[in-house]
Amino acid sequence: MDNELNKDLTPEEEAVAAEEAAEETVENTQEAAAETEDEQEAAARSKVEAEIAARIEKRFSKYPDPSELSDFAVDKKQQTAFEEYKDEYESYSQLETSREKRKAILRLNSLYYNPEMSPVIVACEASKSNDAAQKTVDEMKKLRKTGKIVSGIFIAVFLALAVIFTVVKIVPNVSAGGGLSSLGFYAICLAVYVALSAYAAVEVKNLFASMGVTKAQKLLPTLENVPAKLESEEIAELADPCISCGEKPQTEGSDYCEDCHAKMLSTKIPFLGWLAGAGIIAASVVALVALFFTAAPAFYGLSAEVAAKEKRWDDALNYYSQMNSTVNEFSSYLEPDSFMADMLKVGKDIQVDTAVAYANAYGAIEAVQYANYYLTDSSIFETEEELAPYMEIYTRYYNTAGICSGYIKNEDADYEEYRDALMQALDDEGVDKSIIYYTLFNLASGESQDYSVQLDFLSKAEQSAEENGYDYLWLYGNDYASTLRKAGEYEKALEYYDRLTENNKNDMYSYLGKAKALVSLGRIDEAEALAAQLEKEQGENEFSISIEALVLRAKGEYDLVEELCTTAFEEYDTSAELHHQLALTYLLKGDYDSAYEHAYLADYNGIYWAQQGVSKAYSYEYLNSLFLSANLCVKEGTEQAQTAQNTITELEAYGEVQPEIVSKIINGEVTVEELLTKGAYDII
């Protein structure tokens, strides 16, 4: 056919066709040869696989069927080992690939040669009349029995000691009324002892049993029917190749061949690693020491920050002070200028925060004045921008004071002269009128001028501050509120008290003033709620108790006030207000001696706290109460009459003036009840 088709071809074309035909023939021959090679290879491979499979099956057949061994596992450990062997043996038949079977053989070998399986195998062999195995089984039984006896002796001795201990120690102790705690201690000791004894006895028993296991293990290789343990060459044949090099077989218990395993184990930790590890441990030890010293100050600092955010300025200042004093105390234990001493320092930011807290709690002028005493950096008000507004107030205050002093010609001037001099100073340029008006109020208050006069000065001080855009509530706010209250303008006083407590949630004197104003208005429930609110938000303190006493007094519960205050004195013995409240209660009860005693203590403690820097701690109400109770003692001729008379004389010698209301009470124009319960006068 081809020849026929090629008839019309040219010689060149014929040559090409012949060449193509020759090439085709070669290709066909090569393909046929390749197919033959593949077949040969496949045949060879299947032959090798068949050989391996046969070898695996042969090896598997050497392991005994678990049913033969099942009756010879006598204790828990042997049963566990046997169950593992049985599971592996039974799962073998479900395996399909040669690789899975190879791995199963390795596992089976390992389980079969588990030491706990040895006594089971030996016992099985002994049952087949194998003398050597029987002899070992007998030895194992003897050892087991000996173990039980020794263990029993151990338990007997331990129990005897426990009984002796109980009789000698516990029984006499219980008889002597040693108490439940010591009895409990002995019981715990005894329980621990018994537990340890039981553990020791079991361990002794196991020790003897393991000696038997060792004997069985030694016997195993000598028994004919027992398959020999796999040699390393055999393991290598069955094992997978190394996952690292992929050439050599994996060693037992590893994914790597012996060489790769050894190489990987010898990887060295770099020097930089050691250096970094040692360095970080050293650094963390230093940090831990620093942390030990800074933990307490930091706790105070954190508390101060929280208090400042909540506008609890007194608390904030208290925490900042504790923070500074703790740091100073710790620093005294450290070497000056050492690294640790450098680490324990309060930063400038905290100094600034302390100054801000001080300014908010006591006022800008006090803050600048006391910076020298409370702050490490006394010049902080001059250098820190955040404190500039306070410094401006301070400067204005002293500039005004300087200008005013120029107008006062006579140092021994009386009230009118001082007042006129200050009024003249008001026209001077560069003065802060609010400050002058506030000074005028102080003069009027000191001279017991009419409340309308005092309030007029305060009103002008406020007006001037508003015109200049200054917030001077801290300067005149408390005085304005209390003067309004004393003048009977309770509603307006409440407004100021609210503004004051809004600015400083720790302003306890304003809360107290507010409660007094509420009681004067007859809003006793609101005063009671205020005491509860204070107690909830700031914890029970002398002020919340004082308000509670005030409310109880207003309700006529005099005995409860006495009980409340007496209990509170255990903690707040130096509280002026608590003594004042109790004094007023005794006045209402007609116990003038007790009233005098507590009025005296109220006045004394008020002066003491004012001298300590708490300017709001003193109130002329304390002095008025003292005058009233002392005069009543004298009038009624009580036991304290002479002492009370001495007090009146002493106070008058100091220039103190008795209020008009006291004379009215002594003369019978006003009763004590009217004074202290109707809210019409100024000393409740």
Q: Which of 11, 177, 347, 637 binds other proteins (CB under 8 A)?
A: 347
Query: What's 546's DSSP letter?
Result: H
With the C-alpha atoms ordered 18, 20, 26, 32, is the resulting torsion angle positive or negative?
A: negative
**Dihedral-angle region of residue 230 (phi above 0 means left; psi in -120 to 50 means alpha; beta otherwise):** beta
Decide: 70 and 121 in contact? Cβ < 8 Å. Answer: no
Q: Which of 53, 200, 343, 426 binds other proteins (CB under 8 A)?
A: 343
Q: Which of 10, 93, 267, 667 binds other proteins (CB under 8 A)?
A: 267
Per CB under 8 A, does 356 bind other proteins? no
For other proteins, the closer CB: 280 or 413? 280
For other proteins, the closer CB: 207 or 291? 291
Is residue 180 classed as helix, strand or coil in its secondary structure?
Answer: helix
Q: How far is the CB of 86 from other proteins (least distance, A)?
A: 17
Q: How far is the CB of 80 from other proteins (least distance, A)?
A: 12
| Residue among 565, 591, 594, 589 at smallest CA distance from 577 | 565
Structure tokens at 601: 């203590």
Helix (H) or strand (E) segment spanning residue 593 = helix 592-611
d(CA 125, CA 133): 6
Decide: 675 and 665 in contact? Cβ < 8 Å. Answer: yes
Q: Which of 305, 428, 456, 535 binds other proteins (CB under 8 A)?
A: 305
d(CA 417, CA 49): 127
Helices 348-362, 313-333: inter-axial angle, 10-degree rounding: 140
Per CB under 8 A, does 210 bind other proteins? no
Q: Which of 11, 253, 430, 637 binds other proteins (CB under 8 A)?
A: 253
Q: Which of 302, 306, 657, 680 binds other proteins (CB under 8 A)?
A: 302
Per CB under 8 A, does 298 bind other proteins? yes
Per CB under 8 A, does 273 bind other proteins? yes
Query: What's 249's DSSP letter?
Result: B
Residues of span 3-42 touching other proteins by CB under 8 A: none
Q: Which of 98, 214, 284, 424 binds other proteins (CB under 8 A)?
A: 284
Per CB under 8 A, does 336 bind other proteins? no
Residue whose structure tokens are 């900042």 = 320
Is residue 608 classed as helix, strand or coil in its secondary structure?
Answer: helix
For other proteins, the closer CB: 324 or 434? 324
Amino acid at 601: L
Part of the chain binding other proteins (CB under 8 A), chosen from 202-210, 295-303, 579-587, 650-658? 295-303
Part of the chain binding other proteins (CB under 8 A), chosen from 77-85, 193-201, 265-273, 635-643? 265-273
For other proteins, the closer CB: 320 or 592? 320
Is residue 316 classed as helix, strand or coil in its secondary structure?
Answer: helix
With the C-alpha atoms ordered 618, 623, 629, 633, is the resulting torsion angle positive or negative?
A: positive
For other proteins, the closer CB: 143 or 380? 380
Q: Which of 64, 119, 212, 297 binds other proteins (CB under 8 A)?
A: 297
Phi and psi at 241, nearest 5°, equal: -75, 160
Amino acid at 4: E
Part of the chain binding other proteins (CB under 8 A), chosen from 53-61, 350-358, 474-482, 628-636? 350-358
Helices 620-636, 592-611: inter-axial angle, 10-degree rounding: 150
For other proteins, the closer CB: 261 or 580? 261
Q: How far is the CB of 88 from other proteins (least distance, A)?
A: 14
Q: How far is the CB of 349 from other proteins (least distance, A)?
A: 3
Taking the alpha carbons at both ends of the chain, their separation in whole angstroms is: 141
Q: How far is the CB of 329 from other proteins (least distance, A)?
A: 15
Q: How far is the CB of 64 from other proteins (least distance, A)?
A: 26
Amino acid at 269: I
Q: Which of 348, 523, 589, 664 binds other proteins (CB under 8 A)?
A: 348
Per CB under 8 A, does 306 bind other proteins? no
Helix (H) or strand (E) segment spanning residue 531 = helix 524-538
Beta bridge partners of 249: 241
Q: Which of 177, 221, 270, 637 binds other proteins (CB under 8 A)?
A: 270
Q: Which of 147, 212, 301, 606 binds other proteins (CB under 8 A)?
A: 301
Per CB under 8 A, does 260 bind other proteins? yes
Q: How far is the CB of 275 from other proteins (least distance, A)?
A: 10
If 0-12 CB within 10 Å is exposed, 13-18 middle and 19+ buried, where does residue 113 land?
middle
For other proteins, the closer CB: 347 or 668? 347
- The total number of residues shown for the chain amounts to 684
For other proteins, the closer CB: 50 or 295? 295
With the C-alpha atoms ordered 560, 562, 567, 572, is the resulting torsion angle positive or negative?
A: positive
Q: Which of 5, 176, 288, 653 binds other proteins (CB under 8 A)?
A: 288
Helices 641-653, 620-636: inter-axial angle, 10-degree rounding: 140
Query: Would you list the DSSP string of 161-176?
Result: HHHHHIIIIIHHHHHT
Structure tokens at 278: 């040692």
d(CA 302, CA 294): 12
Q: How far is the CB of 37 from other proteins (least distance, A)?
A: 38
Beta bridge partners of 241: 249
Q: What does the longest C-alpha to C-alpha distance in the chain come to?
A: 166
Per CB under 8 A, does 48 bind other proteins? no
Per CB under 8 A, does 283 bind other proteins? yes
Q: Which of 152, 172, 277, 446 binds other proteins (CB under 8 A)?
A: 277
Per CB under 8 A, does 261 bind other proteins? yes
Q: Which of 166, 254, 322, 541 binds other proteins (CB under 8 A)?
A: 254
Structure tokens at 511: 């809360």
Q: Which of 118, 318, 351, 510 binds other proteins (CB under 8 A)?
A: 351
Q: Which of 256, 381, 397, 441 binds other proteins (CB under 8 A)?
A: 256
Decide: 140 and 212 in contact? Cβ < 8 Å. Answer: yes
Decide: 217 and 118 in contact? Cβ < 8 Å. Answer: yes
Residues of span 415-444 touching other proteins by CB under 8 A: none
Per CB under 8 A, does 655 bind other proteins? no
Q: Which of 44, 167, 245, 291 binds other proteins (CB under 8 A)?
A: 291
Binding residues for other proteins, rule: CB under 8 A, are 244, 253-256, 260-261, 264-265, 267-270, 273, 276-277, 280-281, 283-285, 287-288, 290-291, 294-295, 297-298, 301-302, 305, 342-343, 345-351, 353
